Structure 1
Amino acid sequence: MAIKGDKPGAPGLKRVGAAKKGVTRKTGAKATFDLDEAVAAVEAPASYTSSLPAVMTKPLFGSTVKKKYVNDFLRQLIMLLDAGTSLLKSLTILSERSEQRALRELITDITRYVENGNALWQAFERHPREFDPVFVNLIKAGEASGTLTTVLRRVVKYRESEEMMGRRLAGAMWYPAILVTVCMLVLLLIAKVVIPEFKELFERLGASLPWYTTDFIAFVEFVSSMKFIVPVVIALVALYTFYRFWVRSPLNRLRADRIKLMIPVVGKSILRKSAIIEFTRSMSLLLRSGISMMVTLDLVRGAIQNQAVAQVMQRIRDSVERGEGIEQPLREAKALVPAVVTDMLVTGEESGQLEQIAEHIAETYEEEVEISIATLGELLQPILTIVIGLIVMTLFAALFVPMISLLDGLMASGAGGGSGV
C-alpha cells in the first residue's frame, strides 16, 4: 500500500478485479460487489447526520450500554454470521434473547433499522455513544468489500483488549481503595469511641495534657463533627465547574491534556502509552480494511480524546496531504511519541507495511501498560502502608504516651505516700 501523497478519494481498497462476489447477510442471496463503488462508499466517511433526521444525531437512550455488553453482542453476532445465519435473523435472535434491558433496546433498534433496508453501519451510526466513527467506518468498509465478519472480528478483538486494560487498572486500584476505606472507618471509630473515653479519663484525673495531645484531640473532634464537609464539597464543586468552563477553550483543553500526559507514573507510563495504543491500533484496523491513509488519519484524529495527541494526528494528516509522509511531524512530537515508535512507523511507511507495524506497536505497548498498571498497584501498597503506620504512631504518641506518663506519675505518688506512712 502506498502511503505518501495519498489524497482523499485515492483508492483505499486493494483491487483484485472489477467486481467481487459475496453473500448478502440480510437475505443470504448471492450478490456482486463492485470494488470501485465500494471504494467510493468507504472513502466518504460516515457522518452522524448523513442520512438521519436531526433528532437522530442524539443518543436514543439516556444511558450508555456498558462496553462489556456491547462486546458480548458483537461476539455473538460474529458466531451467528459464521454459522451461516443471515444478518437480519442474527440480529433478531440476539434482540429476543438479550437479558440486559439497555442492550436489548439497542439491538432492537439496530434490527428494525436494518429490516427497513438500511446498511448495518447506518444502524450503528445511530448510536454514537456505543459505536464511535472509527468503528462505524470499519463496518462500512466491511460491508462494502464483503468482509463484514472479518472486520467485526478484528474490531471486537481491539474492543476486548481495551476492556481488559480498563479492568486491570480498576483491579490495581481495588486493594488501595479498600485499605483507605478500612483505615477511615477505624479512625472514625477511634474518634467516636476511644478518644471521648480518653478525654473523660484525663479530665477526671485532672491531668495536664501536652500540646500535641490537645491539638490531636481537637483535630479529631473537628473531623468527626463533619463540619468541614459542606465547605469542602462547595470548594470541589466550584473547582470542577471552573475547570469545565476553562477547558471549553480549545487552547486550554490542549494545555490540560498535555499536563495529563506529563503526570509522573500515571501520565507518562499509562495515559501516554494508552494514547499510542489507541491511534496505532485504530490506524492498523482502518488500513487493513482498505480505507485510505487520508481518511484513516481523519477518523483517528476525530476518535482520539486527548487533544495533544489529536494535534499530532492533524499534523501527520497535513504532512501526508502535502506528500511529505509521516516522519517529520512524528519527529517534532518527540515529547509525546517515543523515537522508537517514530522509527518503526516510518519504516512501515517506506516498506508498505504500515498496518502490520502499527499493530505490532499497539500489542507491544499493551504489554507495557499492563506492567505499568501492575507496578502502580505495587507502588501504592507500601506507600499506603507507610501512611497508615504514621497515623498509628501519631495516635500512640498523642494518646498512649500521656496515658503511660500519667500512670507512672500515679504509681510514683502512690509509692511515695506508702513510704511516708
Structure 2
Amino acid sequence: MKIQNISLSSKDKITLFDNFATMLGAGISILEAVDSMLEDSKGNQKKLLENLRKDLTQGQQISSSFARYPGTFDKVTLNIIRASEEAGTLDVTLKDIKKHIQKEMEFKDKIQSAMIYPSLILVVFVGIMLLILTFVIPKMASVFSRMKVELPLATQIMLNVSNFITTYPIQLIIGVIAFIAGFIYLFRTKKSFILGIFFSLPMISGLVKQIDITRFTRSMSLLLSAGIPLTGALELSQEVVSRKDMRQLVKHIQTAVMSGKDVSDAVRDAKGLVPMIVIKLIEAGEKTGSLDVAMQNISENMDYEV
C-alpha cells in the first residue's frame, strides 16, 4: 500500500462523509456515489476520490483506500469504517463519523476561544513590561545614580535588564530569534517531551485532562457503537489522548479488561485523575449494557464543562 500525502481539512472531511452517508442511505452504490461526488469536487478531495474510485474498481474497500492517507484519516476512523463495512452499516457509521468531526471542530473552537483571553493578557503584560524597561526605567536609573543610594536587589535587577535592552537591542533581537528557532527545532525533534512539560503546567494541566477525557470517551463511544470489541477500542483510544498519565490509564484499563475486570474498576485505580461522576456513569453503562451511550453522555458532559 502506497502512502499518499493528500490531506483534507475538517470541513472537507465532513462534506465527504456526509455526502457518502446520504447517498449510500438512499440506496446508491458506492461507485455511483463516488462518481457523483467527483463531478463537484476539486483539489485534494478530487484526487482522493479519483484514487478511491480506482481502488474500488480493483476490489478494495473504502477503509483500505483511506488507509493510504494516515495524515487525513486516523486509526480510529479507519477501524470504525472497516468494522461498519463488515457489518453492512456504512451509511450510519459515516454519519456518526461526520458528527464526531463536527464535535471535534466545535471543541477546538471552544479551546481556542478559551485561550484567547489569557494569551491577550500575556501579550499586553509583555508589551507593558517592555515599555517600562525601555522608557521608564532608564529615566529612573539616572535619578537613582544621582542619589547614590544602595538599591534593593529587585530594583537593581530591573535596572540591569533595562540597561541591557537599551544598550544591546540588536543582540537581544538576535537572541530572541535564536531562542524561537531553537524551540521550534526542539518541538519538532522532542515533541512529546516539550508537550509533556507544557501539559504539566498548573494552568494547563487541568484543561488538558478534561480535553483528554472528552476525546477518550467520544472515541470510545464511536468505536463501541461501530461494533469494535472493548479491548480493541481501548487500544485505539490511546492515540487520542495527550497526557502521558492518561495514556497510561487507558493502557491500564485495557490490561485490566483483558484480565476480566470492569472498566469502572480499572478507572478507579487512578485516584484523582478521573472525576467520580465519570466513573459512576461508566459503571452504570456497564450494568445496563450500554457503555457506548454512557461514553457519549460523558463526552457531552465534559465538552460542556470545557
* 2:292 aligned residue (350, 355, 372): 355
CA shift, 1:327, in A, is 3.2
- Matches of 1:344 and 1:95 in 2, distance apart? 44
Q: Which has the higher contact order (CA 8 A, sep 6+)?
A: 1
After superposition, the Cα gap between the structure-2 partners of 1:112 and 1:186, relative to the gap in structure 1 and judged at 3 Å, is farther
Q: Shift of the alpha carbon at 1:188?
A: 9.4
**1:332 aligns to what?**
269
Q: Which has the larger radius of gyration?
A: 1
Q: Does 1:92 align with 2:35?
A: yes
- Displacement of 1:362 after TM fit? 0.6
Letter in 2 for 1:155: I
For 1:173-201, what per-residue CA distance to the aligned partner results, in whole angstroms no more than 9, with x for missing partners? 45666787789899999999xx7xxx9xx
Distance 1:154 1:91 in 2: 19
1:263 aligns with 2:189: no
Contact 2:13–2:98 (8 Å) recurs in 1: no
**Alignment correspondent of 2:179:** 235
RMSD between superposed Cα atoms in Å: 3.6
1:278 aligned onto 2:181: no
> Quick one: structure 1 residues 306 and 64, their matched pair in 2 at CA, closer, same or farther if it must change by over 3 Å?
farther
Please list, as runs of the form range in 1=range in 2, the aligned pairs for 1:186-197 lying within 5 A after superposition. none
SS at match of 1:296: helix
Distance 1:92 1:236 in 2: 47
Alpha-carbon spacing, 1:104–1:262, altered in 2? closer, same or farther (3 Å): same
1:308–1:151 distance in 2 versus 1, CA, 3 Å: same
Give the match's secondary structure for 1:227. helix
- Whether 1:107 aligns to 2:49 is yes
**Residue deviations 1:201-253, cap 9 Å, x none?**
x9xxxxx95249xx698566458x443121223234445545665567xxxx5
Residue 276 (structure 1) shift: 0.7
CA distance in 1, matches of 2:24, 2:63: 16
Secondary structure of 1:102's counterpart equals: helix
Question: What is the alpha-carbon distance in structure 2 between the residues aligned to residue 298 and residue 91 of structure 1?
Answer: 32
1:7-406 map, 5 Å:
52=1, 56=2, 58=3, 60-61=4-5, 64-99=7-42, 101-174=43-116, 210-211=143-144, 221=166, 225-239=169-183, 241-242=185-186, 253=193, 257=196, 260-268=198-206, 270-369=207-306
Higher helix share: 2
% identical aligned pairs: 25
Distance 1:172 1:242 in 2: 26
Q: How many residues align?
A: 291
